[in-house]
Amino acid sequence: DTVPVVNFPIKNAINPIAATIKHDYTGTAVATQLANPNTQYATTFLQPMAGLKNKIAFPYLGKFASEIGKVAINKAELVIDLSSGSDVIPYGAAPRLALYRYDIAERRQNLPDNNPGSQTVAGDPRAVSPQIFGGYYNSVTRQYIFAVTAYVQDLMDGKTKDYGTFLAPTPINEFSIFPSVSTAARSVISFMGSMYFR
């Protein structure tokens, strides 16, 4: 078997270059999901290059905290399974996913577990290294795992309100909360019963 490869050499010494990426989901399961965003689906799609992201919610965390009371979270992981048969050649799974949240103004923000800050912006002291935060595809288990201990603690304590938490493909060597145009690998993930905390 051979996989077709197409090269588009762009050589420019003087003039500016522009590119456009357009996605056409006509007649696909993606089109159905986009037309019915409030419906839960067993299988969803993640596509980079300004394509598709998934919004996930944790409505039961607030209820759990109100019924049980104050709880200290020792460790929380979000585990996401790849849909069976969706990673066959030439369509490999995205090597890494981003997990981020919206603030009240719907601006993308890192989760506290992935917010080390920078030279000019203070981060969260509970932030972990990118390798521990995760989001990398494990081809053996066919899973993505995120360490979300601080985020879950903040949600349960009411310190953070969930205005939207999102999954999207990101380049393997650079975590980005913004749409990636440097990777084309997509993932088909299964949610019902296979996305869970542990």
What distance in Å separates the CA atoms of residue 114 and residue 3, rounded to the nearest whole number?
A: 36
How much is the average pLDDT of 109-135?
90
- Give the pLDDT of residue 185: 82
For residue 101, CA distances in Å to 104, 165, 184 come to: 10, 4, 22
Residue 18: the pLDDT is 74
Predicted confidence (pLDDT) per residue in 77-98, tens digit? 999 998 887 777 777 888 999 9
Higher pLDDT, 174 or 56: 56
Sequence spans of domains, the chain? 29-197
Using omega within 30 degrees of 0 as the cis cutoff, is the peptide bond preceding 90 cis? yes
φ/ψ (deg, to 5) at 145: -130, 130
Q: Which residues contact 44 (CB under 8 A, 6 or more apart)?
A: 33, 54, 188, 189, 191
Question: Could you tell me which residue, 103 or 9, shows the higher pLDDT?
Answer: 103
Checking if the pLDDT of 3 tops 60, the result is: no
Query: For the packed helices 59-68 and 149-157, what is the interaxial angle rounded to 10 degrees?
Result: 60
Phi-psi region of 61 (alpha: psi -120 to 50; beta: other; left: phi over 0): alpha
- The residues, any chain, with a CB within 8 Å of residue 110's CB and separated by 6 or more, are 100, 101, 177
| 9-45 tens-digit pLDDT | 666 667 777 777 888 889 999 899 999 988 888 888 8
The two tokens of residue 159 are 């310190």
The listed range with the strongest mean pLDDT (29-43, 49-63, 100-114) is: 100-114
